[in-house]
A = this chain, B = another copy of it.
Amino acid sequence: MAAARHSTLDFMLGAKADGEAILKGLQSIFQEQGMAESVHTWQDHGYLATYTNKNGSFANLRIYPHGLVLLDLQSYDSDAQGQQETDSLLNKVEEKMKELSQDSTGRVKRLPPIVRGGAIDRYWPTADGRLVEYDIDEVVYDEDSPYQNIKILHSKQFGNILILSGDVNLAESDLAYTRAIMGSGKEDYTGKDVLILGGGDGGILCEIVKLKPKMVTMARRARARRIFTTCHEWHKQCRQNTVKVDWTRAMKTKVLIEDCIPVLKRYAKEGREFDYVINDLTAVPISTSPEEDSTWEFLRLILDLSMKVLKQDGKYFTQGNCVNLTEALSLYEEQLGRLYCPVEFSKEIVCVPSYLELWVFYTVWKKAKP
């Protein structure tokens, strides 16, 4: 499907806007393009001029009286020539506006055009809600599972990116994530007993088996089966040029296709204990109603059960969320104070390349017995 390109050009004048003069000054530029004008005037709120072109493109010129002038230009399926015409129109408007506002220096801002409705969606907002455009050039995989939408999109710089229901999950560039959730290279996994909760993309498993642990158990929800299958292939590809992974050996580790709650409950009942529990299930919930939200309830349950299967000197690793979501992170830390046993924790801020935001990781351990 062809897409629409939406360009913007903004003028922050240093003085009040003389709407009539600006409209009159710019009119000829749109007329030259054969665009038809229609103007709406507010008594106190300035002007909105709409210019429509026979080819289906249109422009909006919104003049706010105190000195803000915003131009929007939208055109559909524009080829290189169409894009040049758009740029040329924007250049002319910018030039003319400079002429018109000579007495009042101000700011001009032209953003990269937004591509809307294209086959390849490049806009995947950050966890803290900022608009960011990725350099996506290919849709590798896009399917709905019964639980979520699963996408693998190819980014020129980050490689394949796994996107679950619109959230950037992990990219091939993001070894920093896997390293961080394994303790940032400061742990010795040799001969250790490790439990991974979630980790459906297989990245942690793939890295941990290199470190000669005694046993790695991975409990991932059945719903993740499809991601795992998808990502197994992806990871195989992604490691091909760097590290040779013996996936057969990796698969000899225990991978339970089972919701992690019953697994944890069973282990707790059996008195089974691990040196490391790595929770890669989900980020800290953004919602800030821990008393009502079932995600928080799930999180507390997992934490409590994880502490039950963690050795007294064991460590629990997990991701937090974007460093900017301070309220959600504080709430998470509050939950840590409410577990069945007293725990301590430390946190680390890590740059995960494809996230385009800094990410917090937690290490939690049981407080030494007095």
Q: Which residues of chain A have a CB within 8 Å of any CB of chain B?
A: 1-4, 6, 8, 10, 12, 38, 40, 42, 44-46, 48, 50, 52, 54-56, 58, 60, 62, 64, 66-68, 70, 72, 74, 76, 107, 109, 111-112, 114, 116-117, 121-123, 125, 128-135, 156-158, 173, 176, 322-324, 351, 353, 356-358
Contacts and interface: CB of A to CB of B under 8 A. Distances in A.
B10 A117 contact: yes
A50 B48 contact: yes
A4 B112 contact: no
Number of copies: 2
Contacts of A133: 130-132
A112 B125 contact: yes
A44 B133 CA distance: 31
A74 B66 contact: no
A52 B62 contact: no
B324 A116 contact: no
Nearest to A62: B74
Contacts of A129: 112
A3 B157 CA distance: 34
Given A62-B74, A130-B132, A176-B351, 17 more contacts: A2-B66, A4-B70, A38-B38, A40-B52, A42-B56, A45-B76, A56-B64, A68-B76, A70-B74, A72-B72, A107-B121, A109-B116, A111-B123, A111-B125, A111-B131, A114-B131, A130-B134
B48 A323 contact: no
13 contacts: A38-B40, A42-B52, A46-B56, A62-B74, A68-B117, A70-B116, A111-B123, A111-B131, A112-B125, A112-B130, A130-B133, A131-B133, A173-B358
B48 A116 contact: no
A104 B269 CA distance: 50
Contacts of A6: 8, 70, 72
A200 B167 CA distance: 38
B123 A64 contact: no
A198 to B, nearest CB: 24
Contacts of A68: 1, 3-4, 76, 116-117
A70 to B, nearest CB: 6
